[in-house]
Every structure is written in C-alpha cells, then in structure tokens.
C-alpha cells in the first residue's frame, strides 16, 4: 500500500540555519503531496502542497518540490526562526484520505 | 470564520465505558474525516464521510468503533467498551469536496485517556 517515510527527529538548529526535512513516499500513480505543521498546543495546519510532478509548494519561506524520479518531497527553509519550532508531517493523498509520515520535531534555539 | 470544532477537548474514562466524540465541520464542507494520533501509531485515518454516507471506513480498528454524520454536518465518533490502547488524540477534519486538491482543515482534537 501507499506509505510515507520521513526523517526522525528531533532536528535541533540554531536560528538562521538552513533546514531540510527528508520525506519519501511509496505510491501507485502520482498522488498529491502535503506538508502539515503542528505548533505547540495547536491543531494541524496545512503548510504547503504540490499536486503533480515537478510542482513546487511554498509558504512562509518553506519550500518542497515534488520529485517523481526520487519519489521525494523534502521540506526546506533557508533561514529558520525560533517560531518555526513545531512538528512537521509529510503526507500524501490516497483516494479520499491522507496518509501521514511519523512526524519530525524541529527545535530552533536563539 | 469558524474552523472545525471538536468536543470535548479532553475526556478521561474508565476501561470498558463507552465514549462519544463530536465534530462540527466548517459550514458548507461536504467531506469529513476522522483521524487518530497516538504515540505508537502516529497519525492514522479512521473514516471518511461524503455527506451523510461513509464510503470509506477502512481505518476503523475494530467493531467497537463507529461513526455517524447527520444533516451533512455534525459527526459523532463512538467507541464502545474502551480499552487502554484507545488512548489517543482523535482529530476531525473537513474539506469543501473530496478532490485531491481540496485542503483538509483540522480541528484541535479530543484527547482521550482510558484508565
């Protein structure tokens, strides 16, 4: 079946460092791909998405490119802030439902 | 505007009791989803509604779990004879439609603790 694998955390960075969180998927066809973020004490929010190969999703300085050759959707940000500290989930759309990765906790220190 | 709301926010119950969790989706959203977030299993899909019907119940872990949706709006997830392994955060989401590009908006969740 379809699945998502993302790097384990926690990822600990200093403010203004470069961030990469790896995500790879296994799927039949070309599903839509998503990154969701869960800030402390808050619900899941959509961060960005890409619906077809080579699409780049972007939001709040975060980017991810849908790579069908490597079945990947890595999340990147050039300069993280303390306020980016959260848990990040990679997900794919499998017909009607989302299939999530295990989540990666990001901690950014000043 | 109002987002997805869930109640209660926290529920503590004793093993063997039944519990009901409620979800109020965003007005006008026809699709509604239930997920479960637990330490051992991560985020898992439970059930999907389109209108009042549930074309996909494949994620319900056992026959102790059931859900219904009435009036194309409010949904209730019922867990009968709760077990300790049912302890988790139960998340509800809704979307305008069920196309792959429709964003799913999540509620804050109900944290269920089974003693």
Q: Minimal CA–CA distance to A46: which of A31, A30, A55, A58?
A: A58
Confidence band for A41, pLDDT divided at 50, 70 and 90: confident
Q: Minimal CA–CA distance to B90: which of B50, B53, B48, B46?
A: B46
Residue A108 distance to chain B (closest CA, Å):
23
What's the pLDDT tens digit per position in A69-93? Answer: 999 999 999 999 999 999 999 999 9
> Which A positions 63-82 lie with beta carbon below 8 A of chain B?
none
What does the mean pLDDT of chain B come to? Answer: 93
Considering only CB atoms, B48 lies closest to which of A31, A96, A99, namely: A96
CB contact under 8 A, B42 and A45: no
CB contact under 8 A, B42 and A42: no
* Backbone φ, ψ for residue B58 (5° rounding): -65, -20
What's the pLDDT tens digit per position in B36-75? Answer: 999 877 899 999 999 999 889 999 999 999 999 998 899 9
C-alpha B77/C-alpha B23 separation (Å) is: 8
C-alpha A97/C-alpha A99 separation (Å) is: 7
Q: Residue B13 has what pLDDT?
A: 97
At residue B63's C-alpha, the angle toward residues B60 and B65, to 5°, is: 55
Mutate one of B90, B100, B104 to test the A interface: name it (highest A CB count within 10 A): B100
Q: Residue B1 has what pLDDT?
A: 56
CB contact under 8 A, A96 and B108: no
Q: Quick one: closest CA in A to B43, which residue?
A: A100
Q: Is B69 exposed, middle or buried (0-12, 13-18, 19+ CB in 10 A)?
A: buried
């Amino acid at each position: 079946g379809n699945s998502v694998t993302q790097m384990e955390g926690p990822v600990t960075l200093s403010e203004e460092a470069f961030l990469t969180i790896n995500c790879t998927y296994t799927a039949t066809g070309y599903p839509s791909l998503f990154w969701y973020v869960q800030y402390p004490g808050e619900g899941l929010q959509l961060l960005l998405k890409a619906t077809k190969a080579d699409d780049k999703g972007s939001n709040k300085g975060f980017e991810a490119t849908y790579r069908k050759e490597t079945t990947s959707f890595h999340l990147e940000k050039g300069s993280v802030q303390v306020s980016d500290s959260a848990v990040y989930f990679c997900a794919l759309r499998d017909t009607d439902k989302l299939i999530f990765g295990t989540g990666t906790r990001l901690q950014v220190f000043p | 505007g109002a987002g997805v709301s869930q109640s209660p926010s926290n529920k503590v119950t004793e093993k063997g009791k039944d519990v009901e969790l409620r979800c109020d989706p965003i007005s006008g959203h026809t699709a509604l989803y239930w997920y479960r977030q637990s330490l051992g299993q991560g985020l898992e899909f439970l059930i999907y509604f389109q209108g009042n019907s549930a074309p996909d119940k494949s994620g319900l872990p056992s026959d102790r779990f059931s859900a219904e949706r009435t009036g194309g709006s409010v949904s209730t997830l019922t867990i009968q004879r709760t077990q300790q392994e049912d302890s988790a955060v139960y998340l509800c989401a809704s979307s305008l439609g069920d196309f792959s590009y429709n964003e799913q908006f999540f509620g804050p969740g109900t944290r269920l603790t089974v003693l």
